[in-house]
Structure 1
Amino acid sequence: MIGVLVTFAQTDEFDRSAVAKIAGELRGPFEGMAGLRFKSFMLDESGRQARNFYVWDDEEKARAFFTEEIVDKVTGIYGVPPKIEYLDVVGFVDNSGS
C-alpha cells in the first residue's frame, strides 16, 4: 500500500465551509474508485493548509491518478498548487467494520 498526502498551503486561511463544500462535491468520483482504499479531506487547525490523504493499493495506481491534468484541476479548485508526497504504508488499521 501507498499513502499520498496532498497539501494546499496558503498565507490566508481557507474557509472551512468552502473546503467542506469541495469535499462534498468531489466525494462521488472517489467512491468505488479502483485501487483507492481510502481518501480524506482535511483542514489544519490554523486554516492555512488543506490536506487530502489517500491510501492506494499500490504506487503505480497512485502515480497514475496524479496526472498533470489532475494537478491543474485541483490547483484551480483550491486556488494554490498542491505539494504531493508519496508515503510507504507499513501498517494500517481499519476499524470501519467493512
Structure 2
Amino acid sequence: MIGVLVTFTQTEKFDRSTIAKIASELRGPFEGMAGLRLKSFMLDEDGTRARNFYVWDDEAKGRAFFTEELVDKVTGVYGAPPTIEFLDIVGFVDNSGT
C-alpha cells in the first residue's frame, strides 16, 4: 500500500465552499477506480492549504496516476501547483465496515 499526500498552498485562504464543490464535482471519476482504496479532499485549519490524501492498494498504479497532464489540470482547478509526497503505509486501520 502507498499513501499520497497532495498539497496545494496559497497565500490567501481557500474558500471552504469552493473546495467542497471541487470535491463534489471530482468525486465521480475516483469511485471504483482500480487500485485506489480511498481519497479524501481536505482543508487545513488556517485555510491556506488544500490537501488530497490517497491510499492506493497498488503502488505502481498510484505512482502512474500523477502524470504531468494531471498536475497541470489540478493546478488549474486549485489555482496553485501541488506538491506530491509518496508515503509508505506500514499499518492501516479501516473502520468503515463497522
TM-score strictly above 0.5: yes
Which residue type is aligned with residue 32 of structure 2?
G
CA distance in 1, matches of 2:93, 2:18: 30
State the shift of 1:58 in Å: 2.3
Matches within 5 A, 1:18-97: 18-97=18-97
Which residue type is aligned with residue 51 of structure 1?
R
SS of 1:76 mapped into structure 2: helix
CA distance in 2, matches of 1:24, 1:91: 29
SS of 1:22 mapped into structure 2: helix
Mean Cα displacement is larger for which, 4-13 or 55-64?
A: 55-64
Number of residues paired by the alignment? Answer: 98
CA distance in 2, matches of 1:63, 1:94: 22
Q: Which runs of 5+ in 2 are unaligned?
A: none
State the shift of 1:2 in Å: 0.1
Give the TM-score, by structure 2 length.
0.98
State the shift of 1:59 in Å: 1.8
Instruction: State the match for 1:17 in structure 2.
Output: 17
CA distance in 2, matches of 1:13, 1:58: 34
Q: Which runs of 5+ in 1 are unaligned?
A: none
Which residue type is aligned with residue 90 of structure 2?
V
Give the TM-score, by structure 1 length.
0.98
Give me the CA root mean square deviation.
0.9
SS of 1:75 mapped into structure 2: helix
Instruction: State the match for 1:4 in structure 2.
Output: 4
